[in-house]
Amino acid sequence: MKFTWFNLMPWPYLADDFREKNRSIWVDIPNTLFDPEKGHFLYNRYMDQLEYAETLGYDGIGVNEHHQNGYGLMPSPNLIAAGLARRTSKAAICVMGNSIALYNPPIRVAEEFAMLDVISGGRLIAGFPVGTPMDTNFCYGQIPALTRDKYAEAHELIMRAWKESEIFSFDGKYNQLRYVNCWPKPVQKPHPPIYIPGGGSIETWDFCIDNDYNYSYLSFTGYKRGKQLMDGYWEQVAKRGKDESPYRGAFAQTICVADTDAEAETLYAEHLHYFYNRCLHVYPGFADPPGYRTIKTLKYGALTALTEDALAKFPTLTWKDLLEDRYVIAGSPETVRQQMEELIKGLHVGHVFCLLHIGNMPDEKTRYSTRLFAERVMPKLRDVWPEWKDDQRWWIKPMPNRLQLERSLPPGDRPSERGPKGRARGGGSPAEGKDEVER
Amino acid sequence: MKSQFLTTKRGCRVRVLEAGSGTPVVFLHGAGGLFPDNPFLDALAKNYHVFAPELPGYGDSTGEDLLEDMLDFTLHAADVVAELGIDKPHLVGHSMGGMIAAEMAATSPNDLRKLVLVGAAGLWIPEQPIPDLFAMLPHEYPKYLFHDPAAGLALLTGGLDFSNLEVLAEFYIANSRRMAMAGKILFPIPNRRLSKRLYRVKAETLIVWGASDALIPPVYAERWNQSIAGSRLVQIREAGHMVPYEQPEVFVSAVSGFLG
């Protein structure tokens, strides 16, 4: 099993009446709510947490791309990944990913991802999402009905740029380039592992299967709801005659770990409430512009509640709802282990994106939950798939002789030489009640 | 009206409603497509030979993947006219159809008789942005489209009940298909630089606008009127963006009076 520590980087300062006063956290969120000075502390704290995850033995650290979004502060995940590449040396840098239809020309993605792969010594996992409609269509103005076509062209261009050693010309519908010449090239040959974050478009399955890319279902609604979709994916994998390696699939899961189930509720309930009831407040008109989903997918999926009545209500999910419906896996290490095993086996996935920072969770609690998961849950889940333990097809292949973090820093400034409360360490019980630096 | 199918040389299969006799009038529908009943077309057919093609992606017309940008849409409409075998029709375009008709009149100014633009899309005034049709939910349409939203809702849904999820789902899927197509020339801003080409329009032009159009407000009617040499403007009271459906009699009388 592989575990990636993932941070969405939410803005944690949304008011209690945010959703009553604003129609959406995404696209048209008032930008006056962003405070750059608070943002300074926040970005650095979130990056510290990602670096901390590596020291605890997480296989990967993950970032993603969102625009004009109150629960995502990374319009450019590559900037964050560049910082992480310099301050880590073992973990996969999972950029999930770059919305390739948005880059003009998309050769930019081939170049930046290659830079990240080179700086990190071959530790990049390259995610190529189609992009959400909020990001792609409403924030970045792409025509919904042409988004997938543009995505397909961008994908072709990037893959050719990485693979081909001859300069070539590219006469695309959306990109015309006389001299395609990717410089630099990635360390990993022929290219870094490719992950395709999917949100439910069934066309994406065949695309992943045809190219042997990992299909990552990144939802916030947990494994019970994810099952139907992942079952559909695995059926399609079987139908197309591919092997059923669990590493073809990944899933994102919100997780909270404490000493006991009761402590988990005490520590984390308020932050789950913040995320699920405030951060996911997206105006439905932004979620599904005509043409973004194909008619085939529209007919396959149930319609979200679009009636006027349904929209007038703001459903409030309680701790109990979130746990019972398995939106969230929370509790003692043993509770979490059991449910994680159910998730992994039920969805047949070899890689979990662990969402351990949630909403407005303060640093101490985040590190506490992160450490407990790493020390008391992860080791017991490592060997769920013994028959596939040597399957490295969807994993990074770093340079064996790459720079190590400790050697690249001057003496006296190495993480191992800092005190236990240094930036790269920490993770004591939040029960000590430490306040955050910027508050 | 009788319904027929034709296939353009490009390969689109197009359903065309047809009625009446006399001078040909081609009506190009808006982003929402034709309704099941189009009384203003029936009324026009009393004096003209009316043709109303449905754009691919609308109703039973197919081949939408063959049309991707403004030039494709414009040439497609000309291809349909050619396939119908009619010479120099009057062009009447509503909303998105007005945008296409104006492009046709600008690119091929000798291929039409007169031009009628009804609540036409295609211009953009930064100080008067048009509401985002693509971020609207079905229940929000009526207040933007009609002077009388309650009566408009009944027209829009054919009397169906939007609080019934099955009905809503059916409407939603068909509407997604239509609007996906419309988005190719209207998203994210319905401006494909038509204003640069309007100097080429030679046809006598009538601009028709609903006085209470809340989607493309009447300030756009003024802008059209200023942009096309010698054009005339008629505003129709108690009508919103869907003026041909809301005030069919006044609309037909204005159009017939102009076409002669």
Per-residue confidence (pLDDT) for residue A437, from 0 to 100: 44
Name the residue with higher pLDDT: A307 or A369.
A369
Token pair of A59 as six digits: 């296989």
> What span, in angstroms and rounded, lies between the C-alpha atoms of B247 and B242?
9
Q: Which residues of B touch A138 (CB under 8 A)?
A: 135, 188
A7-29 tens-digit pLDDT: 999 999 999 999 999 999 999 99
> What span, in angstroms and rounded, lies between the C-alpha atoms of A61 and A50?
6
* Nearest residue, CB atoms, A291 vs list B162, B165, B179: B179
> What span, in angstroms and rounded, lies between the C-alpha atoms of A174 and A109?
15
Q: Is the pLDDT of residue A406 over 80?
A: no
Per-residue confidence (pLDDT) for residue A409, from 0 to 100: 61
Per-residue confidence (pLDDT) for residue B206, from 0 to 100: 98
Amino acid A356 reads L
**Could you tell me which residues of chain B have a Cβ less than 8 Å from any Cβ in chain A?**
68, 134-140, 162-163, 165, 168-169, 172-173, 175-184, 187-189
Torsion of CA B151, B155, B161, B165, to 10 degrees: -130
Per-residue confidence (pLDDT) for residue A420, from 0 to 100: 46
* Nearest residue, CB atoms, A298 vs list B134, B165, B176: B176
**Inter-chain touch A143–B187, beta carbons under 8 Å:** yes
Q: Is the dihedral of CA B61, B50, B260, B146 positive or negative?
A: negative
Q: Which residues of B touch A145 (CB under 8 A)?
A: 180-181, 183-184
For B73-79, the CB contacts below 8 A with 24+ separation are: B73/B100, B73/B103, B73/B184, B73/B185, B74/B100, B74/B103, B74/B104, B74/B107, B75/B10, B76/B8, B76/B10, B76/B12, B77/B26, B77/B28, B77/B53, B77/B101, B77/B104, B78/B104, B78/B108, B78/B111, B79/B8, B79/B9, B79/B10, B79/B12
> What span, in angstroms and rounded, lies between the C-alpha atoms of B144 and B214?
5
* Nearest residue, CB atoms, A290 vs list B162, B169, B176: B176
Token pair of B208 as six digits: 């028709």
**Inter-chain touch B165–A303, beta carbons under 8 Å:** yes
Label residue A310 by pLDDT band (50, 70, 90).
low
∠A8-A148-B103 over CA atoms, to 5°? 125
| β-pairing verdict for A92-95 and A60-63 | parallel
Label residue B172 by pLDDT band (50, 70, 90).
confident
CATH number corresponding to B2-259: 3.40.50.1820
* Nearest residue, CB atoms, B177 vs list A146, A284, A295: A295
**Inter-chain touch B181–A291, beta carbons under 8 Å:** yes
Residue of chain B with shortest Cα separation from A310: B163
Residue range A176-199: mean pLDDT, rounded: 96
In angstroms, the separation between the Cα of residue A114 and the nearest Cα of chain B is 32
Label residue A316 by pLDDT band (50, 70, 90).
confident
Per-residue confidence (pLDDT) for residue A421, from 0 to 100: 46
In angstroms, the separation between the Cα of residue B149 and the nearest Cα of chain A is 15
Which range, of A120-134, A318-332, B153-167, B244-258, averages the lowest pLDDT?
B153-167
Residue range A393-411: mean pLDDT, rounded: 84
A34-64 tens-digit pLDDT: 999 999 999 999 999 999 999 999 999 999 9
**Inter-chain touch A285–B135, beta carbons under 8 Å:** yes
B7-65 tens-digit pLDDT: 999 999 999 999 999 999 999 999 999 998 999 999 999 999 999 999 999 999 999 99
> What does pTM read for this prediction?
0.91
**Inter-chain touch A143–B178, beta carbons under 8 Å:** no
Q: Is the pLDDT of residue A435 over 50?
A: no
**Inter-chain touch A137–B188, beta carbons under 8 Å:** yes
Q: Tell me, what's the ipTM?
A: 0.92
A151 close to A101: Cβ distance less than 8 angstroms: yes
Per-residue confidence (pLDDT) for residue A313, from 0 to 100: 58
**Inter-chain touch A307–B179, beta carbons under 8 Å:** no
Q: Is the pLDDT of residue A429 over 80?
A: no
Check whether the bond before A190 is cis (ω within 30° of 0).
yes
A120 close to A51: Cβ distance less than 8 angstroms: no
Q: Which residue of B137, B165, B166 to mutate against A (max A Cβ within 10 Å)?
A: B137
Per-residue confidence (pLDDT) for residue A415, from 0 to 100: 55
How far is C-alpha A186 from the chain's CA centre? Answer: 21
Label residue B169 by pLDDT band (50, 70, 90).
confident
**Inter-chain touch A143–B183, beta carbons under 8 Å:** yes
Residue range A359-368: mean pLDDT, rounded: 98
Label residue B186 by pLDDT band (50, 70, 90).
very high
In angstroms, the separation between the Cα of residue B72 and the nearest Cα of chain A is 14
Q: Which residue of A308, A309, A311, A313 to mutate against B (max B Cβ within 10 Å)?
A: A308
Nearest to B241 by CA among B117, B158, B136, B124: B117
**Inter-chain touch B135–A289, beta carbons under 8 Å:** yes
| Contacts across the A-B interface (CB distance below 8 Å) | 77
**Inter-chain touch A145–B169, beta carbons under 8 Å:** no
A282 close to A26: Cβ distance less than 8 angstroms: yes
Find tokens 């990992």 and name the residue.
Answer: A214
Q: What is the CA radius of gyration of chain B?
A: 17
3-state secondary structure chain A: CEEEEECCCCCCCCCCCHHHHCCCCECCCCHHHCCHHHHHHHHHHHHHHHHHHHHCCCCEEEECCCCCECCECCCCHHHHHHHHHHHCCCCEEEECCCCHHHCCCCHHHHHHHHHHHHHCCCCEEEECCCCCHHHHHHHCCCCHHHHHHHHHHHHHHHHHHHHCCCCEEEECCCCEEEEECCCCCCCCCCCCCEEEEECCCCHHHHHHHHHCCEEEECCCCHHHHHHHHHHHHHHHHHHCCCCCCHHHEEEEEEEEECCCHHHHHHHHHHHHHHHHHHHCCCCHHHHCCCCCCCHHHHHHCCCCCCCHHHHHCCCCCCHHHHHHCCCEEEECHHHHHHHHHHHHHHHCCCEEEEECCCCCCCHHHHHHHHHHHHHHHHHHHCCCCHHHCCCCCCCCCCCCCCCCHHHHCCCCCCHHHCCCCCCCCCCCCHHHCCCCCCC
> What span, in angstroms and rounded, lies between the C-alpha atoms of A106 and A242?
30
Percent of chain B residues past pLDDT 70, beyond the cut: 100
**Inter-chain touch A145–B184, beta carbons under 8 Å:** yes
Q: Is the pLDDT of residue A338 over 90?
A: yes
Q: Which residues of A touch B163 (CB under 8 A)?
A: 307-309
| Mean pLDDT of the residues in chain A | 91
Q: Is the pLDDT of residue B161 over 80?
A: no
Which range, of A259-268, A270-279, A347-356, B137-146, averages the lowest pLDDT?
B137-146
Per-residue confidence (pLDDT) for residue A427, from 0 to 100: 46
Find tokens 């890689």 and name the residue.
Answer: A351
Residue range B186-196: mean pLDDT, rounded: 98
In angstroms, the separation between the Cα of residue B256 and the nearest Cα of chain A is 35
Residue of chain A with shortest Cα separation from B169: A303
**Inter-chain touch A307–B173, beta carbons under 8 Å:** no
DSSP-derived letter for residue B30 is: -
Per-residue confidence (pLDDT) for residue A83, from 0 to 100: 97
Q: Is the pLDDT of residue A138 over 60?
A: yes
Residue of chain A with shortest Cα separation from B176: A290
Residue of chain B with shortest Cα separation from A288: B135
> What span, in angstroms and rounded, lies between the C-alpha atoms of A232 and A30?
39
Percent of chain A residues past pLDDT 70, beyond the cut: 88
Label residue A419 by pLDDT band (50, 70, 90).
very low
Q: Is the pLDDT of residue A411 over 80?
A: no
Nearest to A59 by CA among A333, A247, A196: A247
Label residue A314 by pLDDT band (50, 70, 90).
low
In angstroms, the separation between the Cα of residue A421 and the nearest Cα of chain B is 48
Label residue A268 by pLDDT band (50, 70, 90).
very high
Residue range B152-170: mean pLDDT, rounded: 79
Q: Is the pLDDT of residue A125 over 60?
A: yes
Q: Which residues of B touch A201 (CB under 8 A)?
A: none
Buried b (16+ CB within 10 A) or exposed e, A23-47: bbbbbbbeeeeeeeeeeeebbebbb
- Map out the domains of chain A with their CATH numbers: 2-432 (3.20.20.30)
Which range, of A10-19, A222-231, A423-432, B112-121, averages the lowest pLDDT?
A423-432
In angstroms, the separation between the Cα of residue B71 and the nearest Cα of chain A is 14
**Inter-chain touch A144–B178, beta carbons under 8 Å:** no
Label residue A434 by pLDDT band (50, 70, 90).
very low
Which range, of A161-165, A292-296, A426-430, averages the lowest pLDDT?
A426-430
Q: Is the pLDDT of residue A112 over 60?
A: yes
Residue range B91-108: mean pLDDT, rounded: 98
Name the residue with higher pLDDT: B160 or B145.
B145
Label residue A439 by pLDDT band (50, 70, 90).
very low
| Mean pLDDT of the residues in chain B | 96
CB under 8 Å to A181, separation ≥6 — which residues? Answer: A161, A167
